[in-house]
Homo-oligomer: A and B are copies of this chain.
Amino acid sequence: MTGLLTDLYELTMAAGYFEAGKAAQKATFELSIRRLPNHRNFVVAAGLAQCVEYLLNLRFTSEEIAYLRELPQFAQVSPKFFDYLHDFRFTGDLFAAPEGTPLFAGEPMLTVRAPLIEAQIPETYLLSAITFQSLVASKAARMVEAGGGRDVVEFGTRRAHTPEAGVLGARAAYIGGCAGTSNALAGMRFGIPVFGTAAHSWVLSFPSEMESFRQLQKLLGPHTVQLIDTYDTVEGARRAAELGKPLWGVRLDSGDVISLARTVRSILDEAGLRDTKIMATGDLDEYKIRDIVAAGAPVDAFGVGTELATSADAPTMGTVYKLVELDICGIKRFTAKFSEHKESLPGAKQLFRLADHDVLGRSAECCGGAEAILRPVILGGRLIEELPSVSAARVRALESLAQLPAEFRDLEPSTPRRLEYSKDLTALIERTRRNLV
């Protein structure tokens, strides 16, 4: 049922290309980051696996085609186009930055090269799939950095923009460096470690807090995390301490985390529970995590929901999907938009990463020993090899971020990463600009 999961204009344009005899023209579209999200010094690429799944399975059912035929916008379209849709398959190529790659403003995330219609229809889906997960992965990376080595666990499905977005957000958060998620389906589907504690309803459902603690301990044994703020956090800590082991930790969900963590730590230590951990949750973001860590509060792990699952301070990002090249019977035409603040650069490209800057070149260029970021993923409609696992993407993100100059990992704005254009690309931009009257 994915064929219709796009903007109507992709489909009317498809019909128009078909009617205008442009179906065989080979197009190159580039999905790139026009502007970084607010408050971000980098973006961690994530969501490629969902883009690949989409392209490999993109079909139009008979029901979908019947729906389109009834629309007034398709009244002039010949029956042959609907036959074409019926047999539609993506037969093109996809080049992409691997998941876990840090990217910057002006840089491409992926390139689609395919017959014009096949490259046009996926625009909407690809933009949404990759932008959302990249936003969450980037937010997660900031939180993990702020946590200074403490575990950050993603607890945000209830705040995600649909439960299904919670599953994919959990995936992205893990790629961004989170230790795991509360989302059970994400655990099963992607092999991400799953964590959980208990809710206030658990505590309230028993005649006393102590009874609820006892029952949780019986259930979870060494995985027990007691939620101690339902009535009074300090009293709750005393009760958890009195009950003793097995006890992985206690969770603070309200009040002043910094002072409560200190008090709770003393209570636990005095009861000999020195290895019992303290987890903080409740409207945390990377700035609050940084402040808790900076204050030296004895918090061992953070659970984050709302802010992470929605990338709340930057829920959108200026990604665009632009036609950059068209091959018409072997003759290449390079396309670009030079509107103010909305420009796009012509031609299929490659991104090269160097220690202190990146270079944007044309797709066939080499750039010394620099890493070429865009790699072939699908060729001729076929996946060339299994994508790296989410764990591999997570390692790539952690290692790549660690190699960046420190200022990019800071929560405050850095100077923008330098992006140079290669000589060949610069020449192509100039030629294309002159051709546009």
Contacts and interface: CB of A to CB of B under 8 A. Distances in A.
Q: How large is the interface on A (under 10, 10 to 19, 20 to 34, 35 or more residues)?
A: 35 or more
A19 interface: yes
Interface string A35-64: 000000000000000000010000000011
A340 B256 CA distance: 11
B196 A9 contact: yes
Interface in A147-193: 155, 157-169, 182-185, 187-188
Interface string A193-233: 01111111110111000000001101111010000011100
A21 B132 CA distance: 42
Number of chain copies forming the complex: 2
Contact of A166 (B124, B201, B218): B124
22 contacts: A4-B188, A5-B167, A7-B183, A8-B182, A8-B184, A22-B205, A63-B188, A71-B187, A72-B223, A76-B221, A123-B199, A124-B158, A124-B163, A128-B160, A161-B162, A162-B165, A201-B322, A254-B339, A254-B342, A255-B339, A312-B315, A315-B315
A306 interface: yes
B323 A315 contact: no
A215 B159 CA distance: 44
A73 B158 contact: no
A159 B310 contact: no
A20 interface: yes
A239 to B, nearest CB: 13
A72 B244 CA distance: 20
A391 interface: no
Contacts of A280: none
A77 interface: yes
A111 B16 CA distance: 50
A158 B201 contact: no
A334 to B, nearest CB: 10
Nearest to A63: B188
Interface in A320-354: 321-323, 326, 335-337, 339-342
Contacts of A25: 205
Contacts of A339: 229-230, 254-255
Contacts of A293: none
Given A13-B201, A188-B64, A218-B76, A168 B162 contact: yes
A185 B13 contact: no
A129 interface: yes
A95 interface: no
Nearest to A222: B72
Interface string A294-319: 00000000000011001110011000
A67 B323 contact: no
Given A7-B196, A168-B162, A16 B219 contact: yes
Contacts of A10: 199
A19 B322 CA distance: 57
A19 B219 contact: yes
Contacts of A120: 199, 201
